[in-house]
Structures are given as structure tokens and as C-alpha cells.
Amino acid sequence: MEFEKCLLDKQKRVNERLKELVSNLDAPQIIIDSMKYSLLAGGKRIRPILSIAICEALGGNTEEVLDVACSIEMIHTYSLIHDDLPCMDNDDYRRGKLTNHKVYGEAIAILTGDALLNLAFEILLLSSKNSYDKRFIDAAFEISRASGVMGMIAGQVIDITNVGKLLNENLLKNMHEKKTGKLIEASCNVGAIIANRYDALPLTREYSKNLGIAFQIVDDILDVVGNSEKLGKSVGKDAKNNKPTFVSLYGLEKSRELAKEYSLKAAELAIKIDNTGFLHALTEYLLYRES
């Protein structure tokens, strides 16, 4: 119960700040409405929560990390909007609602993703400009590298260029380490950076790499056995689109074993980072989630 309360408190804090950050923008109303539609549609807010939890666990000021964490959620949301487009995964539902392009059209959906990405970096730069604090510059670099051509975008390219192919273990893992894992890694690392605990980066990197793989394996499993109402999106789309996944390579049972294996490694590292137990509980929660 204590974990659930802490999780909900952190989600509420992120949601409130995200709402503030997309209010009073000097832009055409349709793009503001579209940004809010996807950004404020819900979601677990796992990435910003990781940033806040790790910063807090390492003795940092959570007020300082909040906007940095929210910028990561904006980047994540932009990637989902673009991922759902007809030219990519062609999905109709996300977070229990029609996907952005189904409501606002493809052109506005593309621009909405662009707008969220750029706003994220405006927020990151605003966080540092008054003090020119190296921590915020380092955090911005960490996030930009994770979301760029050597990170999330690289993973997406591997994904779409290998539709219909059965990838070997190394390439599949590389794809997911980049597409999903890199932004999770950045989320964890900026928590340490803003806390000015650069010494903890080896731990947060190793923790996040194991967590990222476990997270993706569970995603692949849920696409096969999950409930579309709980997930808030279509299930079975990976098989329908001939997408390479852990399930297509290993099958369900082996995938479940791998998810537990990587989660266990992450959970062991979580204890070394956070002595409150929240990060350990969050790791277990993500393994057994149904959405």
C-alpha cells in the first residue's frame, strides 16, 4: 500500500506539472489541443518517476529534477504519436483513446510530435539558463543522445527495416536497447546527475539497461496475452505486422523467464541505489504489470 501511495503521488506531481508546462503557449489552438490530447491522456509516467525516485534516493532536490523529468515524458509522448502513424505501426488506439492522427489528421499529428520534442528541449534549456549549472547541461546531453540517431531513432529504424524478418538475439536486443532502453536509461541517469551523484552513474546505467530489456520483453508478452482494455491499445499487432519481438524469437515461456531474469538483476541493483525500497518495488511492479 505504501508503494502504491508513493507511486500515485509521483504520478500526480508529474501530471500536474505537465499540464502547467503546456498551458499558456503562444501557438495556434489546434496544435495546443493536439499536444494536450496525447500528453495528458494518462499513462504510467514511468520515465519521469524513475528520474524523480533516483534523484530523491541519492539525496537530490526533486524540485530541480521535475522539469527535466517532464521533458523526458514529452519526448516519450512524441515518439508514441509518430510510432502510431500509418507509415509506421498504423495504430488506432493509445492509452485507451483514439491515436492522435485519428483525431487531428496525419499532418497535425506529425507537427504535434515535433512540437513536443522541441518544447522538451526548451524546458531543459530554461532549467539551466539562470545558473548555467553543468548538471542541467549534462542532463540535456544525456536525453538528446538517448532520443537521437544513436538511441531511440536508431532502434526504430532497426524495427521498421526488419519487418517480416526473424532477428537473431544480438540484433533484437540491440534494437530494444535503443528503441525502448535508451530513454529509460536517460531517465535514470538524469536522476543521478541532477542529484550531483556522478559517482552513482555506473549503477544507474546498469540498473536501467536491465530494467529496459525486462520492460520491453513484458511489452512483447502483453501484446500476445494482454487485455486491450487494460492496455489501452490494440493487442496482437506485432504478429499481425510481422514485427520482430522476443516472443517471436523465443516463444512465451522463454520470454517470461527472460523478463524475470533481467528484472531480478535490476531489482538487485535497485537496492544499492535506493534504500527506501521504492525503486525495488517499482521494478517488481513493472514485471507483473497488466498494462
pLDDT digit string, tens, across residues 126-176: 876 656 789 999 999 999 999 999 999 999 999 999 888 878 889 999 999
Which of 122, 118, 120, 116 lies closest to 41, judged by CA? 116
CATH class for domain 2-287? Answer: mainly alpha
Domain chopping of the chain, boundaries: 2-287
- Residue pair 110/85 in contact by the 8 Å Cβ criterion: yes
Is the pLDDT at 282 greater than 70? The verdict is: yes
Question: How far apart (Å, rounded) are the C-alpha atoms in residues 159 and 244?
Answer: 7
Averaged pLDDT, 80-90: 93
Question: How far apart (Å, rounded) are the C-alpha atoms in residues 60 and 113?
Answer: 31
Q: What is the pTM of this model?
A: 0.94
Which of 41, 55, 169 lies closest to 116, judged by CA? 41
